[in-house]
Amino acid sequence: MKSLFAFVSLLAFFVAGCPSADKKPAKAATPSAPVSLVGTEWALADLAGTPVIANSKASLAFPEAGRVAGNGSCNRFTGSATITGDTLKFGALASTRMACMDGGVSAQEDAYLKALGAANRYEVSNGDLLIYATGYDKPLRFTRARAAH
């Protein structure tokens, strides 16, 4: 009887110590791949915590790999964009030089282009494009631009 008890105890010890065949190995968390921005167009909704001036038309587009274009609020701009993973850097942006009649819109355009120059990474969250910039506490937030018909 003692040997049967010892055998059952030993068997229970081994069974308890063995991993169950039903258990699946834990998956390592894999970061999601950044969304490609090529071919997308965006409307600026929030400039690092400050809502944009209504009807100011500030925008950002990625017409092809390595290129960016948009409207600062008064003037159009174009330039280069380097995207590696979630890192985003804009090269020098060339801009038209039309005068803004509204001082608030002009100030917004200056702040917008300055923030783009400080961009360092991006993400797409809940359908919005968020661009994080060095020196800013909050990201620039863009919504998808409606296609013109």
pLDDT in tens, 22-54: 444 444 444 455 778 999 999 999 999 999 999
pLDDT in tens, 108-139: 999 999 999 999 999 999 999 999 999 999 99
What percentage of the chain has pLDDT greater than the value 70? 76
- The pLDDT value recorded for residue 12 is 43
Angle (nearest 5°) at CA 10 between 8 and 15: 90
- The pLDDT value recorded for residue 147 is 58
What pTM does this model have?
Answer: 0.75
Q: What is the mean pLDDT of residues 72-97?
A: 96
Q: What is the mean pLDDT of residues 46-75?
A: 95
Report residue 20 as tokens. 């169950």
pLDDT at 77 over 70: yes
- The pLDDT value recorded for residue 35 is 79
- The structural domains of the chain, ordered by start, are 41-144 (2.40.128.270)
Taking alpha carbons only, the member of 91, 92, 55 closest to residue 73 is: 55
> 10 Å Cβ neighbour count for 17?
7
Report residue 8 as tokens. 């059952």
- pLDDT, mean over the chain: 83
149/143 Cα distance (integer angstroms): 18
19/27 Cα distance (integer angstroms): 16
